[in-house]
Amino acid sequence: MSRFSLHGWKFALAVAFVGCAAFFCTLAAGLFFSGPVLPSFSDVKAAHRLSDAVLIDRHGGVIHELRVDPAGRRLDWVALSDISPALCSAVIAAEDKRFRAHGGVDWIALGASTLRHAVSGGSRGASTISMQLAARLDEAASPRGAKRTWSEKLRQLAAALALERSWPKDEILEAYLNLITFRGELQGIAAASRGLFDKDPSGLGEAESLLLASLIPSARMSAETVARRAARLAQRTGSASTAEEIAALAVEALGRPYRIRPQVALAPHVARMLLAAETGGRAQCTLDGDLQAFVLEALNRQLAQLAERNVRDGAALVVDNATGEILAYAANQGAASSAPHVDGIRALRQAGSTLKPFLYGLAIERRFLTAASILEDAPLQVPTAGGLYVPENYDREFLGPVSLRTALSASLNIPAVRTLMLVTPWAFLERLRALGLERLDREADDYGHSLALGSADVTLYGLVNAYRTLANGGQWSRLKIAAGDAAEKPVPVMDRGAAVIVSAILSDREARSATFGLENPLATRFWAAVKTGTSKDMRDNWCVGYSERYTVGVWVGNFPGEPMWNVSGMAGAAPVWLEIMDRLHRRAVSRAPGMPAGVVARPVRFRDNLEPPRVEWFIEGTEPLEEIAVERRHAVARIVYPQPATIITLDPDIPAELQRVSFVGRFAGDSHEWRLDNRALGSSATLAWRPERGRHVLTLVDREERVADRVTFVVK
């Protein structure tokens, strides 16, 4: 048989196949697809599932997108009217140039393709956009292997004809662009456009559209192959895009891993908590989106200012006192954090002075002390199994006798240790556990007396809720972050009267001024109770406080644990706390809590004008009946600190010129004078001295030059 004859037979068979296919497909479309076999457009659109789940705030706004499906990236369904006309034209030109004219099957293209196959033995198929979409919608028309069988091909043709009978052309094109895979795991035009070009489908230009259309036949082609195909498509369509422009864009978009930048990402840690691993999921939380954004901005501003002091991380939590609902959850400041995935609100950190309100509250509740009780702020040495425990104040100064109100407001350390010795570490630890502070699983002896100064590790989450308990008069309940969680009945964990008295102390600007001055970041224009804290070696800095309606907690530091450089509570966390509180009270008032039954107000006076007269609050039955006096245990003058044979070690982390040692004496007025190594220093009862290395002799002499007391100490 001649070569011409062979080709003639192939041509005849091809024509016969196309004719039979047209006949049988038309017949099949009438016989088999008259019922609802293929889904409707609305059903397909409704069944579209995003690979990302979304977190909704309390007002219904989206505040975070989180990928939950590892199999592919699918974003929101995009209406045809929101897709660039340039892309639609490029896709039709590349995949189905007679899309608007045929009824589902392009018989001209199919015949030409069959003829080329008959003559040359291979060519690209003639699947129309309708045929490709029908194959996705009808599983029986989809290939089970590498190639379709004849029956599958016929079913695909028939499915395409049936699809066109019930779907308008625009719906077919819209569904096609939302369902096809463009590149790797990028499914649909929204994912492809944002993943490759970081723009919405409506903003795609000609060159970008040509590249996307050229990706459809094979999503795994190299950037060079896609660029060549797009350049040919540009010539065929008369596009103004040049081959060079297309090639450069292909390398930029396809030569690197894709990245879909979330359109909103305000609460990643809450999203991971609440969003199920189900694609297209939605969860509503108690957060306020606007407040969440504001808190993150405030945190970032402050950390940028503290960067030169070796501060890189921070966290903030805002809760509603009445409901326990979390309104803002900034677990870190985001991309600028040293560890963006760390949840700083749940991380364990040393508490510092933030536990002191609960210690004094316990002492008041048990009637060991009152807000007017006098505590000694003087050098203290506590014998322990491991040796002497010698607490110091933050500024290494001593104020002498002070009231409990002053001791708490000024955050003095030594009165707190004396109070812990009174209530016992065991009782204080039990109180902290009742307040919901997590992971306090060591024994009281393991913490020792340093528990008064915050040696325990706590979380910002637990600490904020403990302060919320103070705001609620000693009533504790869990915090809530999932919308719709049932309210639970509060549990009383501390005496209401003691809680309100502590709140009154924490809101006292004048008492706080002994350490912090009258003007500081804790001074609000509305009623608020607040406490700062700094852990050992300046590794953690806290500010937690509450108003009538809200409790706000802020932590700054470094997630890896490096110490900050000269950052106090006032300079670190407090400015953020104040900014958040001011934002919350732009239109909201905050009033001091009313005193409950069993709490009485009484005027108090202190002998020798130790503190100014004032009206103080007491649990009924504990109020003083006369002037408050300091107990004078020693009639003769003496040196209280340093004690004989004391060894003082200079702190290498503090500049030498800033270090001071306090000489504390017990004498009245200017009746005695300090002398160090026979040098006169002054006559005040408390004297600050810049330490010098070596052995020193400190003497206290009276006006007649008689030695009242003498100690020897060493500075290393």
pTM > 0.85: yes or no:
no
**Span 409-428, pLDDT tens digits:** 988 999 999 999 999 999 99
Instruction: Give the SS3 label for residue 346.
Output: coil
pLDDT at 443: 80
Domain spanning 299-619, CATH architecture: 3-Layer(aba) Sandwich (3.40)
pLDDT at 1: 45
**Residue written as token pair 């245990």:** 633
Q: Distance (Å, rounded) from C-alpha 522 to C-alpha 597? A: 29
> Under 8 Å CB-to-CB from 71, ≥6 apart: which residues?
51, 185
Task: Extract the tokens encoding 42.
Answer: 């609305």
pLDDT at 50: 85
Helix ranges restricted to H, 472-522: 496-506, 509-516
**Is the domain 638-715 a CATH 2.60.40.10 member?**
yes
Rg, C-alpha atoms of the chain: 38
> Under 8 Å CB-to-CB from 55, ≥6 apart: which residues?
62, 63, 64, 65, 66, 267, 270, 271, 274, 275, 282, 283, 284, 285
Consecutive H or E run containing 362: helix 356-365
Degrees to nearest 5, angle at CA 382 with 376 and 385 = 165
Cis peptide before 642 (omega within 30 of 0): yes
> Under 8 Å CB-to-CB from 560, ≥6 apart: which residues?
338, 339
Buried b (16+ CB within 10 A) or exposed e, 72-92: ebbbbbbebeebbebbbbbbb
Degrees to nearest 5, angle at CA 386 with 383 and 391 = 55
Percent helix, strand, coil in the chain, to 5, is 40, 20, 40
Low-confidence ranges of the chain (pLDDT < 50): 1-7, 9-16, 18, 21-25, 27-36, 123, 140, 144-146, 633-635
Task: Extract the tokens encoding 434.
Answer: 């009742």
Please report the DSSP string for 582-603 in residue order: HHHTSS----PPPPPTTEEEEE
> Under 8 Å CB-to-CB from 618, ≥6 apart: which residues?
370, 371, 372, 501, 599, 600, 601, 602
pLDDT at 393: 73
Domain ranges of the chain: 1-31+96-168, 299-619, 638-715
pLDDT at 395: 66
